[in-house]
Structure 1
Amino acid sequence: MSVTVRVPTTFRTLTGGASEVEVEGSDVGQVLTALDAAHPGFKDRLLDGEGKLHRFVQLYVSDDDIRFREGLDTAVADGETLSIIPAIAGG
């Protein structure tokens, strides 16, 4: 299943500047594995040492926050979009 991953500006060094990339996967975890295989370094930036999503990163399948679905096991359908949203701090 082809999934479009929207890449935030801060991660585009990993994709050669691309704001969107296409990868295969039937759930978020598989999509992240495929993303890391195609563009090494993503998993290190998104997941902690235990394979859990870092607190400062949010992932959305279409408009749904995966934290309120099945987390990394959240299913993705062919043609859906996975958006990576890093937290922004300010003051």
Structure 2
Amino acid sequence: MATVFLSIPLRRYTSGESSMEVPGATLRALVRNLDERYPGIAESLVNPDDADRLMPGLGAIVDGEPANMGLLTPLDEGSEVHFIPAISGGAPVSNSASGGGERCA
């Protein structure tokens, strides 16, 4: 079984539970089993236009590495899976010496 960690927005399906043990040999199987336990959560995880991918704006980290194979990513016994919102964008940063701003890369 893998240990699954859910970001705050996904916890609405689990009554606030942030982590749980879920069986599955791949991310797809894990999501299917997670949805059996917490109906509706798969709709927030799986891209409706591509069943092999997560929703846009959502990432999965498996054992500390990005799940670059999407839902086809294999899992090991004892894997840790984190579903997290993607981080993007940037904002101007004040430069106190010049009074100007720079863009974050």
The unaligned stretches of length 5 or more in structure 2 are: 92-105
**Structure 1 equivalent of residue 25 of structure 2:** 26
**Structure 1 equivalent of residue 79 of structure 2:** 80
The unaligned stretches of length 5 or more in structure 1 are: none
Taking only aligned residues, the RMSD between alpha carbons, in angstroms, comes to 1.6
For these two proteins, the number of residue pairs brought into alignment is 88
**Structure 1 equivalent of residue 63 of structure 2:** 62
- Calculate percent identity across the aligned residue pairs: 28
Instruction: Name the CA distance, whole Å, in 1 between partners of 2:35 and 2:26.
Output: 14
How far off its partner does 1:46 sit?
A: 1.2
- State which structure, 1 or 2, has the greater radius of gyration over its C-alpha atoms: 2
Task: Give the SS at the match of 1:44.
Answer: helix
Structure 1's consecutive aligned runs of 4 or more residues displaced over 4 angstroms after TM superposition are 88-91
Q: Is the 8 A contact 2:22 2:34 kept in 1?
A: yes
Instruction: Name the CA distance, whole Å, in 2 between partners of 1:8 and 1:40.
Output: 17
More helix by share: 1
